[in-house]
């Protein structure tokens, strides 16, 4: 294969992902050139501290802490892995205005300012590629843009945050408290010093916003995604869920709720929340730092994508793949041809999350001296309740009774649970968690 002229790269960010990008394109330059005909040369790297020592294969003179110096350098492609929405937004928009293609791993930028970024790329006659933005090294953007275009996607759901998945795995398999599991994730480099964005569900919502916009063909607003994190989960519920045949995961889900005539708007349900998943479901077996995405298309049915969702080299792998797409012209052709980006799609029509029906796990906790009568008490209190129970589980060691309900709207469930609890002598407030594909006893 005939090698093209080297592509000059301006790299914004040289942390975990940026250093991985450098390692791949420098240490594997020959292999990449032999396979793709492309060779990359990094001429300028934007960092916050030029004095900091870094284990990256770049000479010291390429580093700068000045965004304008980066933009003034000679480059053919901007790679943005700096994160956030301040400096990143500035360098991305200015590069696009100058007609330079951009590769980004920044899900927050695309979730909050996606339409602006895409419109800027069109105005500049260039393109944006963002495979690494939503699932690290797991390829999902490509299938949504190309492989599944024959389908009308009915739903997309997944485990998008490796930090949360690691924490939940550590709690259940290691018997750790939530706080200890978060500290372990921080010690191993899976969680930031401030893990709030991850554990609150914000990071998952950013990724869901980007993916669901592409999959469901609507311009989705990040703030309209209902979200709840894992920071209030208790080990007791993870353990009891396992006893009942379920695994608890932080799941992001976007789905069409009702059939609609062709070309007509359709309400979308979008949520991020801790969810019980039956053990034989594809997402239930993903543990540790693994991520997974399940897409349901009306032609192909369900397709499943799983892999390492975080880390330096897995995410850098997706970044470099996009760099090659840009260098070969594939990214530009896709961006020009497809009308699936937020600047081209209509605003989403959202359903109120309180109107969406799901099954639920409901836990009632009793004082130890009440455990002998607790099942009879729950049965009696539930007797005239309009919410149907599919399954009831008793854990006398934990002094709890758990009910799995039939699909019900959250506002109706809340009223029903309050009514039941009002007839019981409970030691704690009832706990309610949604259940994906509940099974009856």
Top pLDDT among 10 and 439 is at 10
The pLDDT of residue 361: 98
pLDDT confidence bin for 265, thresholds 50/70/90: low
Distance of CA 149 to the CA centre of its chain: 21
CA atoms of 176 and 324, how far apart (whole Å): 43
Distance CA 238, CA 400 (A): 13
Question: pLDDT band at 181, cuts 50/70/90?
Answer: very high
For residue 359, what are its two tokens?
């099954």
Residue with tokens 């997309």, as numbered in its chain: 156
**Residue 127, burial from CB neighbour count under 10 angstroms (0-12, 13-18, 19+):** buried
**pLDDT, tens digit, for every residue of 76-96?**
999 999 999 999 999 999 999
Pick the CATH number of 141-308+348-353 from 3.40.50.1000, 1.10.540.10, 3.20.20.140, 3.30.360.10: 3.30.360.10
**Average pLDDT score over the chain:** 93
Averaged over 89-108, what is the pLDDT?
A: 98
Bigger pLDDT: 57 vs 300? 300
The predicted structure's pLDDT at residue 305: 94
Residue 138 has pLDDT above 90, yes or no: no
| Domain residue ranges of the chain, discontinuous segments joined by + | 7-135, 141-308+348-353, 357-436
In angstroms, the CA 205 to CA 225 distance is 7
Structure confidence at residue 105 (pLDDT):
96
Locate tokens 């390492």: which residue?
A: 308
Statement: residue 216 has pLDDT above 80: yes
Cross-strand bridge partners of residue 352: none
pLDDT of the residue at 149: 94
The pLDDT of residue 262: 54
| Average pLDDT of the residues in 351-370 | 92
pLDDT at residue 292 tops 70: yes
pLDDT in tens, 386-416: 999 999 999 988 899 999 999 999 999 999 9
Span 208-231, average pLDDT: 96
Residue identified by tokens 């790299």 is 11
Distance separating the N- and C-terminal Cα atoms of the chain: 61
Token digits of residue 168: 């939940």
Specify whether domain 357-436 bears CATH 1.10.10.10.
Answer: no
pTM value > 0.85? yes
What is the average pLDDT across 105-120?
A: 97
Q: Which residues contact 62 (CB under 8 A, 6 or more apart)?
A: 42, 43, 44, 45
User: Does residue 259 have a pLDDT over 70?
Assistant: no
Give the pLDDT confidence of 414-427 residue by residue, as tens digits: 999 999 999 999 99
Structure tokens at 5: 């002229």
The pairing of strands 301-308 and 349-350 is unpaired
The residues carrying an active-site annotation are 207
**pLDDT of res. 2:** 62
Q: What is the second-level CATH architecture of the domain 7-135?
A: 3-Layer(aba) Sandwich (3.40)
Helices (H), 191-301: 196-199, 202-216, 235-243
CA distance 244 to 256: 29
Mean of pLDDT values over 257-264: 59
**Lowest mean pLDDT, pick from 27-31, 60-64, 263-267, 357-361:** 263-267
Confidence category of residue 312, pLDDT binned at 50, 70, 90: confident
Q: What confidence score (pLDDT) does residue 437 get? A: 82
* 111-to-7, 115, 222, 241 alpha-carbon distances in Å: 28, 9, 6, 33
**309: pLDDT strictly greater than 70:** no
- Identify the CA nearest to 305 among candidates 156, 198, 434: 156
If you average pLDDT over residues 354-358, what whole number do you get?
91
- 207, 133 Cβ separation under 8 angstroms: yes
| Cβ atoms 264, 152 nearer than 8 A | no
Evaluate whether 165 touches 155 at the Cβ level (below 8 Å). Answer: no
């Amino acid at each position: 294969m005939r090698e093209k002229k080297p592509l000059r790269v301006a790299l914004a960010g040289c942390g975990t992902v940026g250093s991985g990008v450098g390692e791949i394109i420098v240490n594997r330059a020959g292999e990449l050139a032999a396979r793709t005909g492309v060779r990359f040369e990094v001429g300028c790297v934007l960092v916050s501290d030029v004095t900091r020592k870094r284990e990256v294969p770049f000479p010291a003179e390429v580093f700068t802490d000045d965004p304008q110096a980066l933009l003034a350098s000679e480059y053919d492609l901007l790679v943005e892995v700096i994160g956030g929405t301040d400096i990143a937004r500035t360098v991305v928009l200015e590069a696009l205005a100058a007609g330079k293609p951009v590769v980004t791993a920044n899900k927050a930028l695309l979730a909050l300012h996606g339409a602006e970024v895409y419109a800027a790329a069109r105005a500049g006659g260039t393109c944006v590629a963002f495979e690494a933005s939503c699932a690290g090294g797991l390829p999902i953007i490509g299938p949504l843009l190309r492989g599944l275009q024959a389908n009308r996607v009915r739903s997309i759901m997944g485990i998008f945050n490796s930090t949360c998945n690691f924490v939940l795995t550590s709690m259940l398999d290691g018997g750790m408290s939530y706080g200890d599991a978060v500290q372990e994730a921080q010690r191993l480099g899976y969680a930031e010093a401030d893990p709030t964005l991850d554990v609150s569900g914000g990071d998952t919502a950013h990724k869901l916003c980007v993916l669901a916009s592409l999959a469901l063909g609507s311009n989705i607003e990040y703030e309209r995604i209902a979200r709840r994190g894992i920071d209030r989960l208790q080990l007791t519920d993870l353990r009891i869920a396992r006893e009942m045949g379920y695994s608890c995961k932080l799941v992001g889900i976007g789905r069409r709720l009702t059939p609609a005539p062709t070309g007509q708007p359709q309400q979308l349900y979008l949520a991020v929340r801790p969810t019980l998943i039956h053990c034989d479901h594809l997402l239930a077996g993903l543990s540790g730092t693994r991520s997974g995405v399940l897409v349901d298309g009306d032609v192909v049915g369900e397709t499943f994508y799983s892999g390492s969702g975080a880390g330096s080299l897995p995410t850098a792998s997706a970044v470099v793949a996009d760099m090659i797409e840009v260098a070969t012209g594939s990214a530009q052709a896709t961006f020009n041809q497809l009308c699936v980006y937020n600047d081209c799609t209509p605003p989403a029509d959202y359903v109120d999350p309180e109107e969406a029906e799901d099954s639920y796990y409901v836990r009632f906790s009793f004082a130890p001296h009440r455990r002998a009568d607790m099942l009879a008490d729950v049965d009696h209190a539930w007797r005239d309740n309009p919410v149907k129970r599919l399954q009831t589980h008793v854990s006398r060691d934990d002094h709890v009774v758990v009910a799995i309900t039939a699909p019900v709207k959250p506002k109706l469930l809340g009223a029903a649970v309050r009514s039941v609890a009002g007839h019981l002598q409970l030691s704690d407030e009832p706990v309610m968690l949604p259940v994906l594909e509940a099974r009856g006893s």
